[in-house]
Amino acid sequence: MAMMTPPHLNQLTAEQLRQLAAQLLADAAEREQTIAQQSHQLKHHQLLNDKLTHELAILKRHRFGTRSEVLNSHQASLLDDLVDADLAAIEVTLSEPVVSVGAAPAPAKRQPKRVPLPPTLPRTIITHEPDNTQCACGCQRQRIGEDISEKLDYTPGTFTVERHVRGKWVCQHCERLTQAPVPAQIIDKGLPTSGLLAHLLIAKYADHLPLYRQERIFARAGLGIARSTLADWVGRCGVALQPLADALRETLLTQPVLHADETPVPMLAPGKKKTHRAYIWAYCSPATAALNAVVYDFAENRAGANARTFLDGWQGKLVCDDYSGYKAGFQRGITEIGCMAHARRKFYDLHTANKSQIAEQALALIQQLYEVEREAKALSVDERQTLRQQRSTPILDSLHRWLMTHRQKVPNGSATARAIDYSLKRWQALTRYCEDGAVPMDNNQVENQIRPWALGRSNWLFAGSLRSGQRAAAIMSLIQSARLNGHDPYAYLRDVLQRLPMQKNNAIDELLPHQWKPHTV
């Protein structure tokens, strides 16, 4: 039997048929490309889920398995807090929906029943009512009831309760129910307010109070909150704040001049019996720059690849010490700026050890350079460069001649020779600051920003995992940058945690510390 051709196709010309065939082929190719992209995304999400599921299993095995006898009770308690926070962060990431064709809906997770808040706590009633109680059909809605939810707030030493009352309004004619929506929260349907979460993060990351200590403080205030719950909140906040920390990093990398430094932190991975040396890297803008920001990057080691990854694509002037990990960047367009404070420190240590007269003379010359910088601090970039050319350059020339002369007088391998060699070896990098008024003379700015990590080590002892270290780095970046911009970190985090769930992605920069303005109702 001959195949019948649809009547409407018989009416088309040959050219129209060719155009129709071409269109059908283009549509088929586009569909194939879409399917290929979806398959690639699905494979990526599957690999990520497999990785997170494996990590989750390891953490759960540590959390609920046999304890290591090497850790004392205090260390084990700290590690448990970090593991609980990591568990919460992974579960939040795994719970994010992934759209795929033909995928079965994920089963709803059973939520634990919440214990009612003590009736003795002070309560603030916050009402949520519709802006308009007139129905679209023209009738007046009637209030038939309300829904009440309670959130726990905290100011140092005192718990309070926010009681959110949502009136129910119904139209008697069309029986349509209306309620005012509740603003989105960082922890959906969670107990804590943004104020309580901000206090928790500030206490942990700025004041270096481990969760077991905060648990005791909260108990004295009248309400015991389990450390596992506090850790869950910390993990969820870390996931929510990560995009803001990423945006801060992108903004920092637009700067033409950056400081960089690193400091060791002990890291204990779950299941291991001893710590190893991990590193926190700090990158910040100069004190005289328009942008005030610092970004921390946590890494499991001190490999130079960590700096290369963070600075990938950036080509500017980097103020740093003589660590070899930065050297590869100098071959890719980054300009090395030496730290005069490090050069000075070599002679200071030499003078402290044996009252060396050579060291004393070097310190006197370097002191003259710092006196010029004190005068230049309040000047503009161009004025600062002019002042340096007029006054600092002659001093540097004298210092260089002095170093060359005395290097010939001291034996190789001596402490004095090593101090002089440090400056001579890096002389070009040490003197580049005179060529640009925007470039600082030393790396003290970033060393000041890395100090909170050194102070915190005595309290939290170690990072429990790579994930917990990265979470701490992200939150500390926001806290310390808020301080640099003159903000109260608690007020900043409280407002950001309240606004972040409703903030549009293209407006997230408004919440960065250097652009943040307190929200006014």
Q: 263-273 burial, b if ≥16 CB within 10 A, otherwise e?
A: eebebbbbeee
**CA dist 492 to 40, 83, 345, 418, 469, Å?**
39, 27, 37, 47, 22
Does the structure show a pLDDT above 50 at 1? no
Residues 6+ apart with CB under 8 A from 474: 238, 241, 242, 245, 296
What distance lies between CA 187 and its chain's CA centroid? 18
Closest CA to 205 of 477, 513, 467: 477
Per-residue pLDDT, averaged over 181-192, amounts to 87
Closest CA to 245 of 479, 506, 488, 82: 479
pLDDT, tens digit, 9 for 90 and up, residues 229-251: 998 899 899 999 999 999 999 99
Q: Element (H or E) spanning 83, and its range?
A: helix 73-95
Q: What is the pLDDT of residue 356?
A: 84
Q: What is the pLDDT of residue 315?
A: 93
Return mean pLDDT, the chain: 83
CA distance 3 to 244: 63
Does the structure show a pLDDT above 80 at 113? no
pLDDT, tens digit, 9 for 90 and up, residues 130-156: 888 888 787 888 887 888 888 888 887
100 pLDDT band, cuts 50/70/90, is very low
DSSP 169: E
Q: What is the pLDDT of residue 104?
A: 47
Q: At what angle do helices 73-95 and 14-64 cross, to 10 degrees?
A: 160
